[in-house]
Structure 1
Amino acid sequence: MKSKKNEKDLMVSRQDLSLPMKTALPQALAERIELYPENKRRPVNKTVFKNNYFQLTYNTRNHSMAISSKGDLVYSAIPYDTARNYIQRAAIQYLLHPEEIRRYIELHQTTVEKYLTLSIFQVTGNRVDEQSFEVKQAYNAIMQNPLLEIQVAGRLMQHDETGPLSANLAGKFLFSENVKTGIAGYLSEYLNFVVQLANSLPLMIDGKEVQLLESAGQDQQLIEQGLTIHSDIDSALSLLPQEVKSGIENALVAADSAIVNTQPLLRSEYGEELSRLRENYIAHSVHPDEAEKYFKNVHSAENRNLINVVSDIHAKDGKLPFLNRHFNILAGDVSDSHVRDEEIAGVYVIGGHELVDILPETTDRSDEQWDKWRPFFNYEWFKELLQDPDEAWYLLPTGDHPFYEVVKTELAARFPKMNLLNNGSLIHEGIRYIGLTIPVALVKRKKVQQQFILKSLEKLLGEDTEIPTVIVSHAPLFNELSLLPETSEAYNKDYICEEPKIEKLFEKYTIIGAIHGHHHIPASSRRFKKTEFSGKRLFVVCSIYSKVNTGFELMSLLQEVK
């Protein structure tokens, strides 16, 4: 296996592999499916490849593939451990670029030492300084144990994306406690499996997504983000423990054989012990908002994307937390603190939080600042916005209400170089952007919502059927053009497109994609996908703000169209 090194920032190249598979299965996958008798009674999730502990399945409904552990294998003995996808991503990157994983941890040394200080206190009850011998010793132990190093890198990715960690820090960062969690054994078997898989089928694996290698085309940068048969993993093998290295080397020689090289944690052997551990677990949790002030952001706030998509920033200190002087697409919920920015340029659509953020800060409604809002005082939804916004979201009027025009005017004063698209359009460098005001997903009023969408699109699309068009809204238009996975608690199966005239419009015009926010989908899940709607292939983008994700570069998708 061989490939060139990707010298770009590790975190920049995390999740852009999420292109869905083509409907037609390549012969290699079809032949593998035929090998497993259980597939005859499985209409949806077909086994493609498996060993003792993991399996690759193909979903016949959405034409996607996924790696999952088989029932007996325990990922972690730590209760509420949510880092599996991050750690698997770090494992793939370690195979490809172990030196970058090391640099990523070193960049975060201050943060790691903070966690180690807390971990040592959890285990010993002793409060030690971050510069103490105990902390330095524990930090060095991470760097001397590649399987722990991978875990720590994954948890730092989680920290950067979702905020500071909490709960059972000792098991996550101290070598002496980590060996009891079973994660090292899980990782060892995971590494074996993905190498077996990449050596057996034309796939690209990034730690969460599995994609057909041919889907990446000739994009070498995209290919290098994941593990393939062409990847050079010799450098990583030289650093891994001998038993892990031997198992992976055996996988390269005999990809179809099941390999066991360390002892993973199995429910069949440790079931009662695991139950007791989790039953008696005492969380050592601190809310991320409280912990945030103790950690230093080591990532640059500057974003150089040419067409930068970001949403759900929820800025709380009166200013945008990132800098981009090119063209930005802000898909709503930008501010919770009356943010102003006179320099940021691009397009901006209205989200739910803007509806509260633009209201006067004074509670004295006799003040003249409230004059523009008086026409809405008697509406129930407006009363709820003032008293309890969480109860107001699903009472909001559809996006053609006069209220939103007042909101637009207020926002335009704060962002003078942004084009506020309240059911409006703008052409930028040959692409037409249509911005629809959809602050929330009105599932119970879906018919009314979709009539508004249809009416707005008919007006804004006009006579030009050829110009490439992207539709931007805060909440997704409907499930067919949403990045929210069906497995999410927020997913509602009823939020589908039931207006056939909308599909007809998509057929008639050159609509190439949709952008939304609202659902706070982390970048590690994916920031875009390709999907089929109205007989054509469209992209869907959702890029929420985090310290390591200050936006998604839309240019790569637009260039495919051009």
Structure 2
Amino acid sequence: MKSNKEKDSFFIEERKSLSPSITGNSLPLEIATRIDLYPENKRRPVNKTIVKNEYFQLTYNMKENSLNISSRGDLVYSAIPYDTARNYIQRAAIQYLLHPEAAHQYIESHKINLETYLKLSIFQVTNKRVDENSAKVTQAYEAIFKDPLFEIQILGRLLQHDETGALSANLAGKFLFSENVKTGISGYISEYLKFVVQLTQALPLMTDGKNIRLLDSVMQNSAISANHLTFESDITSALSLLPQEVKQTIENSIIIGSQTIPTNNKLLLRSEFGKELSEVRQNYVAHSVDPRELEQYFENVLPIKNPNLVNVVSDVHATDEKLPFTNKNFNIIVGTSEDSPIVDEEIKGLYVIGNHELSDVLPKSQSKENEEWKKWTPFFKNKWFQGLMRNPDDSWYQLPIGDHIYYECVKDEIEKRFPKMNVLNNNSFVHNGIRYIGLTIPVVLVRRKKAQQKFILEALNQLLNKDHDSPTVIVSHAPLFNELSMLSPDSTAYKKDYVCSELKIEKLFEEYNIIGAIHGHHHIPASFGRYKMVHFAGKELFVVCSIYSKINTGFELMNLLKSEN
């Protein structure tokens, strides 16, 4: 086994070994020169090893042209069964390296919610209830800031809380230091930090804890790189806070003060504890509660005001008759903003129709004789409309293709509620030199893909209007097709047949200055990223999916627009 010093040297030497020759057809230079270094790549047609150490590896997916950091199998992330916070905790680890003081402040701003979690955690361990003024709660809260690896975990849990809602299962292992030391998560974090820092020092890479990319493959501006770890990142402040053995392994060249923080980063290895972990999982009872049921016990401590110049948001699902964020600039609402009638007379921008609006705009009166139902009576005979009235969730896939008169009626109702928004039902709008084409695609219609793509082709032909030069962004609630979707193929919602099979659509993308696409619908967690760059129709396009959450009141599109122009 190599010593820590030898491991550091290993990364440094690998960086020097990058050859100027390309060993692959269209692979980036930094990737192509590394594939032959690992013999196992000869029998791996898709995921090629680029760099690895004892516990982690960097792989390159040949089909998706993407990089991924993953555990090599023996290192266990968490002894807590079905712990879903790994991406959040990895993201928190990167942010702690880059902005330790901001991470500390973020945790402190959530004190009131942390006290609630700590009270529940203590109850789960002792079966005794305490209040927020209890000495036990105070001690548990103070313990968060005494161990950086535990503080990183708390930051990750809070990111998850703000994005997905209140947590309920195994709170003691997540929030009490005395219980957390048994989970092995600190050991995972320490090894993860070592790997990503050495990796970004060895190769021109950037990572935010979830996504990892070559520096040359993304826009180079401070708004994006500020939250990404690269070889240029100044992590001196964070290193001085980490346990002595962790910081020395990460970067021996930095001289740290003599203060020593005790370490609780014992590794949890499957080779040593596999049987015990398997038994715990087999006997596990979650006792989890739907986050919506727990919301009443927690407060939103994050600001709702959003300064983005071009603010993209989707899937707000507001239930209290108002939008839960404010933005006085230009907003792009990508459908499904409401699960109750919302009225906002001030918000400006554009709006495309999502699936939930199709039923939420209908009158709340049960009596079909009511005057409010008059405009909807022409649709009563349609099976899909009957389904919308009775049980919308079971009828989405019966919806008409997006050139139906029903959508125009829905548009009229949305315009009444958002008088300053431009509701795009298969039409376009120009803002600051960018043409936005809003297509009505409420859901993914896999079985009627051919008809749907015929509609997309006809609508784009009409709306592009032979203007080949104007930079154009296509906006739709559900993605146009898989090639322009943020949804991962690993998701249960992913439909592999939902690909672009109409070659004329691809030809349009080639001929016109289409620079990107925006969608929502799939509720993709923020930790997966809000955008990606894809290759389609012979060029690079951005794809944005901005789902609303307390931590995400919108995505700033301006950075991508500037880059593309």
TM-score bin, normalised by smaller chain: over 0.9
Matches within 5 A, 1:294-443: 294-443=297-446
CA contact (8 A) 2:186 2:264 kept: no
Q: Distance in 2 between the 1:263 and 1:210 partners?
A: 27
CA shift at 1:545, angstroms?
0.5
Q: Distance in 1 between the 2:352 and 2:208 partners?
A: 32
Deviations 1:173-206 (A, max 9, x none): 1111001101011111111111221121111121
- Of residues 191, 213, 216 in structure 2, which corresponds to 1:214? 216
Are 1:291 and 2:294 counterparts? yes
CA shift at 1:561, angstroms?
2.8
Q: Distance in 1 between the 2:140 and 2:480 partners?
A: 49
- Of residues 476, 482, 485 in structure 1, which corresponds to 2:485? 482
Q: Distance in 2 between the 1:354 and 1:213 partners?
A: 40
SS at match of 2:422: strand
Counterpart for residue 527 of structure 2? 524
Counterpart for residue 249 of structure 1? 251
Counterpart for residue 548 of structure 1? 551
Q: Distance in 1 between the 2:78 and 2:43 partners?
A: 31
**Given the superposition, is the C-alpha separation of residues 218 and 452 from structure 1 closer, same or farther in structure 2, using an over 3 Å criterion?**
closer
SS at match of 1:285: coil
CA shift at 1:23, angstroms?
8.7
> Identity of aligned pairs, percent?
65
Q: Distance in 2 between the 1:390 and 1:411 partners?
A: 20
Counterpart for residue 7 of structure 2? none
**Given the superposition, is the C-alpha separation of residues 26 and 532 from structure 1 closer, same or farther in structure 2, using an over 3 Å criterion?**
closer
Deviations 1:317-365 (A, max 9, x none): 0011111111111110011101111111111111100011100010000
> Which letter maps to 1:198?
T
**Given the superposition, is the C-alpha separation of residues 81 and 446 from structure 1 closer, same or farther in structure 2, using an over 3 Å criterion?**
same
Are 1:205 and 2:207 counterparts? yes
CA contact (8 A) 1:338 1:357 kept: yes
Deviations 1:476-529 (A, max 9, x none): 110111111111111111001111111121122111111111001122111111
CA shift at 1:533, angstroms?
1.3
Q: Distance in 2 between the 1:486 and 1:251 partners?
A: 42
CA shift at 1:217, angstroms?
5.5
- Of residues 148, 166, 174 in structure 2, which corresponds to 1:164? 166
**Given the superposition, is the C-alpha separation of residues 222 and 536 from structure 1 closer, same or farther in structure 2, using an over 3 Å criterion?**
same
Are 1:104 and 2:106 counterparts? yes
Matches within 5 A, 1:508-523: 508-523=511-526
> Which letter maps to 1:528?
Y
CA contact (8 A) 1:29 1:201 kept: no
Ranked by relative contact order (alpha carbons within 8 Å, sequence separation 6 or more), the top structure is 1
Unaligned residue ranges in structure 1 (runs of 5+): 1-21, 254-259
> Which letter maps to 2:512?
Y
SS at match of 2:527: coil
CA shift at 1:461, angstroms?
1.2
Counterpart for residue 91 of structure 2? 89
CA contact (8 A) 2:210 2:529 kept: no
SS at match of 2:240: helix
CA shift at 1:222, angstroms?
2.5
CA shift at 1:152, angstroms?
0.3
Are 1:502 and 2:491 counterparts? no
Q: Distance in 1 between the 2:541 and 2:43 partners?
A: 33
Q: Distance in 2 between the 1:466 and 1:129 partners?
A: 64
Counterpart for residue 79 of structure 1? 81
Q: Distance in 2 between the 1:177 and 1:140 partners?
A: 15
SS at match of 1:515: strand
Tell me the matched-pair count: 535
Q: TM-score, normalised by structure 2?
A: 0.92
Are 1:45 and 2:47 counterparts? yes
Cα RMSD between the aligned structures? 1.8
> Which letter maps to 2:41?
N
CA shift at 1:137, angstroms?
0.3
Are 1:463 and 2:466 counterparts? yes
Deviations 1:519-558 (A, max 9, x none): 0112211111111111122111110101111111111111
Counterpart for residue 276 of structure 1? 279
Are 1:140 and 2:172 counterparts? no
Q: Distance in 1 between the 2:98 and 2:536 partners?
A: 36
SS at match of 1:524: helix
Counterpart for residue 188 of structure 2? 186
CA contact (8 A) 2:48 2:61 kept: yes
**Given the superposition, is the C-alpha separation of residues 233 and 332 from structure 1 closer, same or farther in structure 2, using an over 3 Å criterion?**
same
> Which letter maps to 2:540?
R
Q: Distance in 2 between the 1:135 and 1:23 partners?
A: 59
Counterpart for residue 13 of structure 1? none
SS at match of 1:239: coil
CA shift at 1:214, angstroms?
2.7
**Given the superposition, is the C-alpha separation of residues 250 and 45 from structure 1 closer, same or farther in structure 2, using an over 3 Å criterion?**
farther
Q: Distance in 1 between the 2:458 and 2:316 partners?
A: 30
Are 1:119 and 2:130 counterparts? no
Counterpart for residue 10 of structure 1? none
CA contact (8 A) 1:216 1:223 kept: no
CA shift at 1:31, angstroms?
2.8
**Given the superposition, is the C-alpha separation of residues 229 and 77 from structure 1 closer, same or farther in structure 2, using an over 3 Å criterion?**
same
Deviant stretches of 4+, over 4 Å: 250-253
Are 1:65 and 2:39 counterparts? no
SS at match of 1:147: helix
Are 1:536 and 2:539 counterparts? yes
SS at match of 2:251: helix
SS at match of 1:138: helix
Q: Distance in 1 between the 2:224 and 2:265 partners?
A: 32
